[in-house]
């Protein structure tokens, strides 16, 4: 009896069959059709990111050589031999570099909880439950406007999506270095920003359902518990989203 190919092997199989760059959501859809019982959406996404040599943190897959290149937010392709050779050279030289700043350890929960990934999980679940996606904002570039707009059976929802802060900088000159603000404190700021956006939406589109969506972390549940009454009075819902894409409206 032949052994079932691993998720890692299936990601490689998919990538090798593509011509040029492809969106992460394409491979998620491919797994749903061809290997629905083997990997959940979040697992597929983490394997794709782990297979790329140029993502911020691939420590979960450090024992496996990468074979993808991340070309843009949510876009990947097969890495060239030149790219992989340069990555191997850099990896070999890294321990010899003196005086390099010490990087903080990666978050235990990996990066499923970034705003980009939470929005992707939300959109996937909405589509699978009959919603038509009208708009999605490019969260990676900070595009203005409602993050997600969807319609179903005459109801329109507008969703303000937030992620959960990481302990380290994800990009820029400080990439990998610890942030001065703790994730729990920064999450409080992000929660307040989401409230403001949701309130503005209630004024701009009073017939829509205004929703705030967050990754499922205790901090966001705690903040909701302290603000549930005024949010309900304002007609604003709060959803938390698991790493597997399950949506739970908070009461």
Residues 215 and 164: beta-carbon distance below 8 Å: yes
For 51-80, where are the alpha helices, taking DSSP H only? none
Return the minimum-mean-pLDDT range out of 7-16, 74-83, 85-94, 155-164: 85-94
pLDDT band, residue 171 (cuts 50/70/90): low
CATH number of 115-249: 3.40.1350.10
* Residue 149: pLDDT over 60: yes
pLDDT at 200: 96
Nearest to 147 by CA among 210, 189, 204: 210
Residue range(s) in the chain whose domain bears CATH number 3.40.1350.10 = 115-249
Is pTM beyond 0.85? Reply is no
Each residue's pLDDT tens digit, 6-30: 889 999 999 999 988 898 889 989 9
Residues 142 and 171: beta-carbon distance below 8 Å: no
Each residue's pLDDT tens digit, 108-148: 344 788 898 999 999 999 999 999 999 998 866 667 889 99
Q: What is the DSSP letter of 59?
A: G
Question: Judging by beta carbons within 10 Å of its beta carbon (0-12, 13-18, 19+), is residue 75 exposed, middle or buried?
Answer: middle
* Residue 172: pLDDT over 50: yes
């Amino acid at each position: 009896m032949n052994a079932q190919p691993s998720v890692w092997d299936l990601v490689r199989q998919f990538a090798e069959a593509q011509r040029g760059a492809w969106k992460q959501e394409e491979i998620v859809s491919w797994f749903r059709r061809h290997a629905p019982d083997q990997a959940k959406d979040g697992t597929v996404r983490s394997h794709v990111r782990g297979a790329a040599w140029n993502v911020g943190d691939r420590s979960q897959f450090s024992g496996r050589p990468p074979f993808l290149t991340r070309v843009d937010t949510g876009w990947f392709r097969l890495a060239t031999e030149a790219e992989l050779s340069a990555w191997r050279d850099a990896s070999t030289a890294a321990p010899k570099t003196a005086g390099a700043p010490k990087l903080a350890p990666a978050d235990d929960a990996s990066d499923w909880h970034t705003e980009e990934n939470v929005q992707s999980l939300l959109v996937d679940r909405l589509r699978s439950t009959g919603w038509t996606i009208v708009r999605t904002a490019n969260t990676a570039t900070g595009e203005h406007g409602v993050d997600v707009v969807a319609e179903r059976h005459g109801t329109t929802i507008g969703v303000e999506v937030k992620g959960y802060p990481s302990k380290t900088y994800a990009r820029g000159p400080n990439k990998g270095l610890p942030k001065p603000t703790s994730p729990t404190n920064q999450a409080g700021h992000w929660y307040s920003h989401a409230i403001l956006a949701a309130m503005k939406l209630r004024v701009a589109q009073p017939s829509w359902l205004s929703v705030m969506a967050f990754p499922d972390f205790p901090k966001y549940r705690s903040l909701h518990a302290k603000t549930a009454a005024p949010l309900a009075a304002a007609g604003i819902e709060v959803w938390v989203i698991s790493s597997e894409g399950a949506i739970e409206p908070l009461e």
